Structure 1
Amino acid sequence: MRIVISEFMDSPAVDTLRADFDVQYEPDLVDRREDLLRAVQSADALIVRNRTRVDAPLLAAAPKLKAVGRLGVGLDNIDMPACAARHIDVFPATGANARSVAEYVIATVLLLLRGAYHASAQVAAGDWPRNALSNGREANQRVLGIVGYGGIGRLVARLARGLDMRVIASDPILTAEDPAWREGLADRAELDDLLRQADAVTLHIPLTDETRGLLNAERLAGMKDGAILINTARGGIIDEAALANALRSGKLAGAAIDVFDKEPLAAGSALADVPNLILTPHIAGLTEEANTRVSDMTAQRVAHALRAN
């Protein structure tokens, strides 16, 4: 059986698959669409990250496809109804990069609250902006608002509680009786109430028709003055132009954005040259440890599916 891997995967996991399957591993195949369509013609399985579009043309080009492995958790690049119609199993690496994302969130919360880590060039040049950097904020007793209280959101809550933060969370899928709330890590709140109360807000929800543009200009205006915002979920959930305006006006004190409506982020976008804004290239879930966990889980699940067929 043949497996095509179109984006980066940890080498030991690739080698494990090669022991039992014919593997075509080309991490730049995602950028060569015609080559990718030719490659999947004889593929029994395809392994992707978030950039490979598993859409109708690709599925039409892959008549033998039985499984799609997703090196991550988001599924918005995969046509799930079309896969279901073809009885193609889709395997996300659920939970494998949760720790990496959660630590990214906590690190950026601390960095943005303190606001003291952007002066290296000034200090090295002989300036001494001590007074300007003496009014940073502690995480202790600050309110962290988590939008989306799944596995990653709950891990963020656990780490935040270790910093003595108060945690509130919003998740329309979880009823008030859901066992998640009985853990006592976070208090349940409606989204707009959460935005009004939270000193820091972090997003952990999928991109759907309901969540696209969820944090628009109106909702950003309803956030607590001086709050910070972190998005490691999906681009498109935040109105990027409205976020830029909220940062420039001082309504928000800072933001860290790891995901964008269009990736890579285009030069000259609305988020260019915005103060107190950290931009990272969709790497919150990527660490040495997470890459190993994600790759191993995906390899195991795809191999099991192929052997079962």
Structure 2
Amino acid sequence: MTTTLITTPTFARHSPDPWELLASAGAGPLRPCENTALPPGELLSRIGTADALIVGMDAITAEVIEAAGRLKVIAKHGVGVDTIDLAAARARGIPVVCAPGSNSRAVAEYTFGLVLSAARGVTASHGAVAAGEWPKLFGPELAGRTIGIVGFGRIGRLLAGYAAAFGMTVLAHDPYVTETPGARSVGLDDLLTRADVVSLHLPADPDAGPLLSRERLTAMKPGALLVNAARGGLVDEDALAALLKDGHLGGAALDAFAHEPLPADSPLRTAPNVLLTSHMAACTPEANRAMGVLVAEDVVRVLAGQPALRPAA
């Protein structure tokens, strides 16, 4: 019997199509946890009987891959595969697939919503009004301001279009992209000193440390806003909290964190002018269906001995 172990509770949550693709191909879909991610210990205990693995933000380490004696394919229910040990998978001859482009619009729209909310204090006003207050919070208009987009792939380009429609000047930094339509390409340090809003859209490198270190955060334009709907490991969170508290930065809107859920003792919880959400930028019914269908199609192909259409690496 062929078994597909699904660790993420969001797989096929808003469409039966991905589930039916697996079932109709005899790929035995199994999701042990309906509402939470599969705990790491249980993943290790179950992985030995799985022929395919569909994951969310789980850490798929060399230890997990080594324990997967039957595994033929790993599928990321999403785009970024930085939580998967690609070298260990490659050494075992296990292809890793993902769903490129499936959630780009969802994340780009959400990111621009974070920009607007952070700039105008929308969530702060909501909290105050709900508590019986009636503040008049002032924030800048976006027209004439500069947004710096770090990572200019599908999401970054969509965001650039939204920002331009609001009259913003768009700067972009991406060492792997030669053309930045709708944006002026600049170096990272130049972008940080010039942008009123900095938005991150690239994977994190766990071996390199935070891209936005304390030094780089300090170099940001005074009063600037930081938006991160990509990966928490990109930002030195302790330094960010300190720079928010001392007023150097005007605010931050974060949908991704180095440790998730956000720890109770995180300094970001008590930092001023911060908007925190639960890694939900990709959570639309449309993106959920697209992600599920794309990864299910490739799981079925690989299990049938065919090459994947969307290999991650």
Answer whether TM exceeds 0.5 for this pair: yes
Change in 2 beyond 3 A, CA 1:37/1:116: closer
> How far did 1:125 drift?
6.4
Question: Structure 1 counterpart of 2:52, which letter?
Answer: A
**CA deviation string 1:112-160 (max 9, x = no partner):** 1122542345446664433xx2x32111121110011111111111121
1:14 is matched with 19
- TM alignment of 1:245-264, pairs within 5 A: 245-264=242-261
| CA shift for structure 1 position 17 | 0.9
CA 1:253–1:2 in 2, change beyond 3 Å: closer, same or farther?
Answer: same
1:97 to 103, 119, 141: 103
Q: Out of 263, 266, 280, which is 1:266 matched to?
A: 263
Aligned to 1:170: 173
- Distance of 2:48 and 2:122 partners within structure 1: 53
Question: Equivalent residues in 2 for 1:135-174 (5 A)?
Answer: 135-174=138-177
Residue in structure 1 matched with residue 310 of structure 2 by the alignment: none
For the 8 Å contact 1:7–1:26, the answer to whether it is kept is: no
Partner of 1:232: 229
Whether 1:204 and 2:210 are equivalent positions in the alignment is no
The one-letter amino acid paired with 2:149 is I
For normalisation by structure 1, the TM-score amounts to: 0.90
- Counterpart of 2:74 (choices 68, 71, 83) is 68
Which of the pair has the greater relative contact order for Cα pairs under 8 Å at 6+ separation? 2
Q: Among 18, 39, 50, which residue is 2:46 paired with?
A: 39
Inter-partner Cα distance in structure 2 for 1:121 and 1:42: 48
Task: String of CA shifts for 1:2-29, please: whole Å, max 9, x gaps.
Answer: 2111112115111321122222222368
Matched, 1:49 2:50: no
Tell me, in whole angstroms, the C-alpha distance in 2 between the residues paired with 1:54 and 1:124. 42
Once superposed, what is the RMSD of the aligned Cα atoms? 1.9
1:169–1:187: 8 Å Cα contact kept in structure 2? yes
Helix, strand or coil: the match of 2:269?
A: coil
Counterpart of 2:309 in structure 1 is: none
1:71 and 1:294 in contact (8 A); partners too: yes
Indicate how the Cα distance of structure 1 residues 143 and 54 shifts in structure 2: closer, same or farther if over 3 A, else same.
same
Alpha-carbon distance in structure 1 between the residues aligned to 2:129 and 2:259: 36
SS of equivalent to 2:304: helix
Structure 1 stretches lacking a partner, 5+ long: none
Secondary structure of 1:252's counterpart equals coil
Contact 2:204 2:210 in 1 (8 A): no
**Secondary structure of the residue that 1:58 maps to in structure 2?**
helix
TM-score calculated relative to the size of structure 2 = 0.89
Cα distance in 2 for residues equivalent to 1:164 and 1:211? 35
Q: Identity of counterpart residues, as a percentage?
A: 41
Give 1:150's aligned amino acid.
G
Matched AA of 2:293? D
Query: How many Å separate the matches in 1 of 2:84 and 2:127?
Result: 43
How far is the alpha carbon of 1:202 from its aligned partner? 0.4
Contact 1:211 1:237 survives alignment (8 Å): no
Which runs of no fewer than 5 residues in structure 2 stay unpaired? 307-313
Inter-CA distance 129–54: structure 2 relative to 1 (3 Å threshold):
closer
The number of aligned residues is 299
Query: Do 2:205 and 2:233's aligned partners in 1 also have CA atoms closer than 8 Å?
Result: no
2:52–2:74 CA contact under 8 A, matched in 1 = yes
